[in-house]
A and B are shown apart, each in its own frame.
Chain A
Amino acid sequence: NAGVTQTPKFRVLKTGQSMTLLCAQDMNHEYMYWYRQDPGMGLRLIHYSVGEGTTAKGEVPDGYNVSRLKKQNFLLGLESAAPSQTSVYFCASSGPVKTQYFGPGTRLLVL
């Protein structure tokens, strides 16, 4: 049972480049989330989804887009990367009991 997986694990981008982070869960969870973690700031919610085909903005959505075309996948897109988006990105999923299970994280460096 893989739980929550994230692809890629690490990426370096140049300013202005685009990329997509993939999150996959095999627990049949309805809810999925994308967070970013910056030093001293804990985790901040970027976007979340309460079910297939739905997405909603979190605390820091600017500069990011998401899609949930399949229940098991939640994609996070950066259309034009900026150095301020250098961070560690975590995906999570949760079921009815609301406990979130996290993926291993993606380290993104934007130069």
Chain B
Amino acid sequence: AQKVTQAQTEISVVEKEDVTLDCVYETRDTTYYLFWYKQPPSGELVFLIRRNSFDEQNEISGRYSWNFQKSTSSFNFTITASQVVDSAVYFCALSEAQGGGFKTIFGAGTRLFVKA
């Protein structure tokens, strides 16, 4: 069965600190996709990154980086030198094939507060 766990409910940091958001997933499929989405206070959901199960390469995009480790079923997200604009709820999600399509399960989210 699919499951996504974001154990950190809320994190508070001071601007310029680095912060890592944890995501642990469970799946029995060998083919699956992992995602991170950002939900700022305005409420929209913004896609950040997608990884498929065959691509364990870490990725860096500006101040954002993602560490995908199949051995520990984790897909962690690090923000370097955090800024106030990074304050948001961040969701990790897992998609796997089901019923001719793909079913996606979201974690409960981690609310990040970045203080000036």
Question: Do the beta carbons of B101 and A99 come within 8 Å of each other?
Answer: no
- Min CB distance B53 to A, Å, is 12
Main secondary structure of the interface of A (DSSP, over half): strand
Q: What is the distance, in angstroms, from A41's C-beta to the closest C-beta of chain B?
A: 6
Interface 9-residue window, one of B42-50, B62-70, B77-85: B42-50
Which residues of chain B have C-beta atoms less than 8 A from A92's C-beta?
Answer: 45
Cβ-based interface call for A74 (8 A): no
Residues in A with CB closer than 8 Å to B47 are 99-102
A58 touches B102 (CB 8 A): no
A-B contact count (CB 8 A): 54
The total of chain A residues at the interface (CB under 8 A) is: 28
Of B9, B43, B50, B106, which is within 8 A of A99 by CB? B50
Query: Which chain B residue shows the least CB distance to A57?
Result: B99
The answer to whether B106 and A42 touch across the interface, beta carbons within 8 angstroms, is yes
In the assembled complex, how far is the CB of residue A96 from the closest CB belonging to chain B, in whole angstroms? 10
**Can you show 7 pairs from A to B with CB atoms below 8 A apart?**
A45-B103, A92-B45, A94-B102, A100-B47, A101-B47, A102-B47, A104-B43
Give the interface of B toward A (CB within 8 A): 9, 33, 35, 37, 43-45, 47, 50, 91, 95, 99-109
Q: A48-B101, A50-B100 are in contact. List 8 more A-B contacts (CB 8 A).
A: A40-B108, A44-B106, A48-B103, A49-B101, A98-B33, A99-B47, A99-B50, A102-B44
6 tightest A-B CB contacts, nearest first: A50-B101, A102-B45, A43-B106, A42-B106, A42-B108, A98-B33
